[in-house]
Amino acid sequence: EEQVDSFDLSMYNMHLLYAHERTYTFRIDSLTPEDRWEDMMKSEDKLVKVYDPQSRTVMPKKLKDLIANRTAYEARGWCMAEIEWSSTRSHSFQHQKIDRHKDLEESYLKGRVPMSPDDFEDKMLKAKFTHRSDSSQVILLQKKVFHEKADKCEKALFQILPKGELGKLARSLKYYKTLRTLEVLQFECS
């Protein structure tokens, strides 16, 4: 009998909260500002709570004792999947990026359209992973979640879509086999 690691099982089901119709996702993509990062690296008394695999608990540690990952959120493979799972809900406004940006245009809330599995697989070629071997699992899980949601969606509302989202919608729409009502409100196009 093949033994399955409990970590693998938890990762395999991590999409449930992101894609559930009764939840909302608000994400902040910004990394810690460099000046604050440097202060924390120099500090002996400021601690960060992180998961420790040896003790299997969350515990405080010095930032300098950790391995830094300064890769942007939207460039990380698992994070890209989280974004996509959050976008599979039938109402696009349930997933929002809420970072404050210098450009006022970027500070407004925007909708997202779920990416088709083919488009996602192509995007994974450029994704960053701590363990590159995770990419095939991420691709399969995104495909599973996308089809699970798209196959059952009868009513979809996509609103406040920025440029590029209508193209994604056109490529994804063929998978919505039971769709009866589609509303697209406030969108940007070329």
Q: Residues 62-82: pLDDT tens digits? A: 988 988 888 988 999 999 999
SS (H, E, C) the chain: CCCCCHHHHHHHCCHHHHHCCCCCEEECCCCCCHHHHHHHHHCCCCEEEEEECCCCEEEEEEHHHCCCCCCCHHHEHHHHHHHHHHCCCCEHHHEEECCCCCCHHHHCCCCCCCCCHHHHHHHHCCCECCCCCHHHHHHHHHHHHHHHHHHHCCEEEEEEECCCHHHHHHHHHHHCCCCCEEEEEEECCC
Q: Residues 27-40: pLDDT tens digits? A: 888 888 889 889 98
The mean pLDDT value for 154-174 works out to 93
Higher model confidence: residue 16 or residue 127? 127
The model's pTM is 0.80
Q: What is the pLDDT of residue 15?
A: 80
